[in-house]
Structure 1
Amino acid sequence: MSRSERLLDLIQCLRRHRRPVSGQALADELGISIRTLYRDIATLQGQGAPIEGEAGLGYVLKPGFMLPPLMFSDEEIEAIVLGSRWVAKQPDQRLSAAATNALAKIAAVLPDDLREDLDASTLLVGPPAKAVEGIDLGLVRQAIRNERKLGFLYRDAGGAASERVVWPFALGFFDKVRVVVAWCEMRQDFRHFRADRIAQLEATDMRYPRRRQALLKEWRATLDKPRGS
């Protein structure tokens, strides 16, 4: 492994830790000596990387640091291209356009050899399954980002309709359907709502009383329990 690759791996390793991590733990994770780790930390700090801490106390990379486009591995490029191409073929038009634009921006800042690898990727995405939902998934995503309530008319598998007010905190993408994961005020519980059964979607300015991440964490803890809609 070249030194530039090792420094890049160190940055990525620090990104995975939100709290200070000891130099020895970092050295063990990277498979290098503690002395080499200290030298690499000093090198990155000298190049402007906002790494805080010192030997014996641990190190943390301040959020917001942007890496220059040094390199991507072959598999990283394949993952970027494949993921972007899949999203670009989804029925959510705004998300689809965003994926195409993001891939173009990444290509624009890559070195020439890596840009050629990106353009020449042979991992292809097949035609998407036809989606029949008639709602704007962009409104759902915006409500999730802003932690706002949504109102809509929902029809269950038997066709029975009910009006719902929910606190959306996740959106699942499957081949043939999109699923809104939310806390339902009517059921006073977590529920999964198929987007193709939602009608009369109404975005509100009402902030729901809990944080999105807290709801997501609590919902994940319930996944082993059977739930209906």
Structure 2
Amino acid sequence: MSRAQRLLDLIQILRSHRFPVTGQRLAEELGISLRSLYRDIATLQQQGASITGEPGLGYVLKPGFMLPPLMFSEEEIEALVLGSRWVADRGDPHLAEAARNALQKIAAVLPDDLRLSLDTNTLLAGPDLIRPEFDTALPLLRSAIRNERKILLNYRDAQDKLSQRMIWPFALGFFEHIRVLIAWCELRQEIRHFRTDRIVSFEVYELRYPRRRQALLKEWRAQEGIAADKN
């Protein structure tokens, strides 16, 4: 393993932990000696990484450190390209454009050899022949989620029954041909799932709902038995 790759791996390990990690544990995960680990930490600190801690107490990486573009691995570039291509083909127009723009920005700062890997990437996202309905509303729904705004929803369920709900949207699930809005429902007093193709209409209120979306997302994950993201 090259030292550049090892430094990248060290950053990734530190990012995956919210609390200090001992030098011994870091060295074991990287397969290096403690002395090499201390040198790597010093190198990253010199490059601007805000790593705090000391031997015996553990180390933690404060948020905000941006890795130099040259530290992307080829597999990471493949993942970025494939994910961006999937979103560009299956996302609503706003999200698709954002995916294409993001890829262009990444390409603009990559070294020549990695830019070639991006331009010649052969991982392709096949065309979606069944376009989900109601995608035009997704930008408004995403905005309501970001801003933690209540939504008055007119919804038709699988039995074709129409109902009106006041909901607190906090997540949006993207499946192959279905989009699912996840929200706290004031009517049912529990978290419910709403397929966007069954939404008849909705109105976003300026009223902010009383809980944070992160707390609702954590509750939903616990309810569904889904592990939280490390990052």
TM range (shorter): over 0.9
Measure the CA separation in 2 of the matches of 1:30 and 1:109. 28
Aligned to 1:173: 174
Where has structure 1 moved over 3 Å in runs of 4 or more? none
| Number of equivalences | 224
User: Match of 2:7, as an amino acid?
Assistant: L
Change (3 A) 1:23 1:91: closer
**The 10-residue stretch of structure 1 (66-75 or 170-179) with the greater mean CA deviation from structure 2:** 66-75
Richer in helix (by share): 2
Quote the residue 2:155 is aligned against.
Answer: 154
Unaligned runs of 5+ in 1: 225-229
The aligned amino acid for 1:127 is: P
**RMSD over equivalenced CA pairs, Å:** 1.4
What secondary structure sits across from 1:222 in the alignment? helix
Q: CA deviation at 1:20?
A: 1.3
- The answer on 1:194 being equivalent to 2:172 is no
3-state SS of paired residue (1:221)? helix
Aligned residues: percent identity? Answer: 68
Give the TM-score of the pair, scaled to structure 2: 0.92
Q: What does residue 66 of structure 1 align with?
A: 66
Q: Quickly say closer, same or farther: Cα 1:25–1:170, change in 2 above 3 A.
A: same
CA positional deviation for 1:223: 2.0
Q: Which residue of 2 aligns with 1:84?
A: 84
2:215 partner amino acid: A
CA drift at 1:87: 0.3
2:114 corresponds to: 114
User: Which consecutive unaligned segments of at least 5 residues does structure 2 have?
Assistant: 226-231
- 8 Å contact kept, 2:92–2:135: no
Counterpart contact for 2:154–2:201, Cα < 8 Å: yes
| Aligned twin of 1:100 | 100
Report if aligned partners of 1:135, 1:198 keep a CA contact under 8 Å in 2: no
- After superposition, give the CA deviation of every residue in 1:26-49 in whole Å (9 maximum; x if it has no partner): 111111111111111112212222
Q: TM-score, normalised by structure 1?
A: 0.93
**Residues 48 and 65, structure 2, Cα contact 8 Å, conserved in 1:** no
- CA separation of 1:142 and 1:7: change in aligned 2, threshold 3 A: same
SS in 1 for 2:71: coil
Aligned to 1:227: none
